[in-house]
Amino acid sequence: MIEPAVEARLVANLCGRDRRARDRALDELFGLVGRPLFQLCLRVTCRPADAEDAVQETFVDVLRGIDGFRADARLTTWLFRVAIRAALRVKSRGARAERVSARAFDDVELDERAAPETGGARDPAAVAAEREGAARVLSAIARLPAAQRTVLGLAALEELPRAQIAEILGVPIGTVDSRLHAARENLREELARGGAGTD
């Protein structure tokens, strides 16, 4: 996701005493990974507002904990770990039995490929159907256990290899594969069932 040389520069600036350099590094980091972090947090929390809160908490946690970052790990690996913890915190704080509705997705797509550029106005019926579909998928994901929501969220980030997912989660690749298989099967069942409720 981020080139190693860019990661090294960002870490140096985030750890440095120059406040302006730190702020620029934080802005650059957000520009590079803000969207994937939001998508991950959305799949863990299953609510756009909670995902936004989790991303904000992630960057606060990054600033607080950057001095403890070990340079032998990838910055993005550490960042995704921080984001998962933030998303789980937000999810547990805001655990409510509120059904995810299509209205919650006015400005949110479930993934980066969901709304390709068409160069013109999109059919409102198609947009409404996409939002309703996204709400239905998130509602089903919300009924999965946290470990399965998390591995689905990481697997949805296209550029993330399974080995890095395993490193982020601190588990063997085989565990990633089995969790992902179980998550996909359970998600398929939830979607087929089409039940209501999020938790």
What domains, with CATH codes, occur in the chain?
Answer: 4-111+122-193 (1.10.1740.10)
Q: What confidence tier does 159 reach under pLDDT thresholds 50, 70, 90? A: confident
Question: Has residue 183 got a pLDDT over 70?
Answer: yes
With a pLDDT cut of 90, the percent of the chain lying above it is: 49
Residues 172 and 166 sit within 8 Å (Cβ to Cβ): yes
Give the confidence band of 2 by pLDDT, cuts at 50, 70, 90. Answer: confident
**Three-state SS at 180:** helix
- 139, two tokens: 């509602």
**Residue 36 phi, psi (nearest 5):** -60, -35
Q: Tokens 């908490």 identify what position?
A: 57
Contacts of 198 (CB under 8 A, 6+ apart): 46, 96, 97, 98, 99, 100, 139, 142, 143
In degrees, rounded to 5, the angle at the alpha carbon of residue 55 between the alpha carbons of residues 28 and 159 is: 65
What type of residue sits at position 71? A
Residue among 54, 87, 88, 46 nearest 198 (CA): 46
* 80 contacts 168 by C-beta, under 8 angstroms: yes
Distance from C-alpha of 47 to C-alpha of 66, rounded to nearest angstrom: 27
Residue in the block written with tokens 């490193």: 167
Phi, psi for residue 164 in degrees, rounded to 5 = -75, -35
Condensed to tens digits (0 to 9), the pLDDT of residues 14-65 reads 988 899 999 999 999 999 999 999 999 999 998 899 999 999 999 999 989 9
* Cβ proximity of 2 and 30 under 8 Å: no
